[in-house]
Structure 1
Amino acid sequence: MAGSTKTQKTPKAKNWSAKVTRESYALDLEEGVFTWKDPRRIALSLKRSAEQSKRRKAPPFRSAMSMLVFYINRAGRKLDPTQRRILEQAKDELRKLYGRPAK
């Protein structure tokens, strides 16, 4: 059977998004920030990290929102629905903290 063998991904290539979340050069995130149950606390932590960072390439709001959206998107269907709701609420909290209109 030609073409029936699967190529295996190396663990390094498979988990690159986890590494970005853990070792982001742009933001120094608090440990476990995306697992917290309080959307406001998550938003405040991301805001603090973005504003303190000297390495970010975008304004603080965009850096914080980008990291949050990145985590949600990369988790995909593996993200618990309850935690997804909390993270979506954290996006709204982040917008409020920066005086941006809600979507």
Structure 2
Amino acid sequence: MTRSQKKNWSHEVTENSDALDLENGVFTSQDPKVIADSLKHSAETSDRRKSSPFRSAMSMLNFYIDRAGSHLSEQQRKTLEAAKDELRKDFGRDAK
């Protein structure tokens, strides 16, 4: 794997996930409900995921937060963290 391939692997996963077909710009929305609804839709319609729709959607959201790291603004990080709670509500799970 070349240096540029190593550097951009997380972008490649987000763009071309084998588990979910994500809407363009889903993680840039300022509305946690929009992010959660989009992830839920992607997870429920995917026929390639290996886990439950909830776990697939939450995993992708956590993956994005973890890989974006310090490049996220505080506001966007709060939005994405709030999207986790919305995702739990969408799937009928207890919010933390």
| TM value normalised by structure 2 | 0.96
CA distance in 1, matches of 2:87, 2:6: 31
CA distance in 2, matches of 1:18, 1:71: 9
1:6-25 alignment, distance < 5 Å: 10-25=3-18
SS in 2 for 1:100: coil
Corresponding position of 1:3? none
Pairing 1:65–2:58 present: yes
Pairing 1:98–2:87 present: no
Corresponding position of 2:36? 43
| Cα RMSD after superposing both structures | 0.9
Gapped runs of 5+ residues in structure 1? Answer: 1-8
Pairing 1:74–2:72 present: no
For these two proteins, the number of residue pairs brought into alignment is 95
Corresponding position of 1:56? 49
| TM value normalised by structure 1 | 0.89
Corresponding position of 2:77? 84
CA distance in 1, matches of 2:51, 2:18: 13
Greater radius of gyration (CA): 1
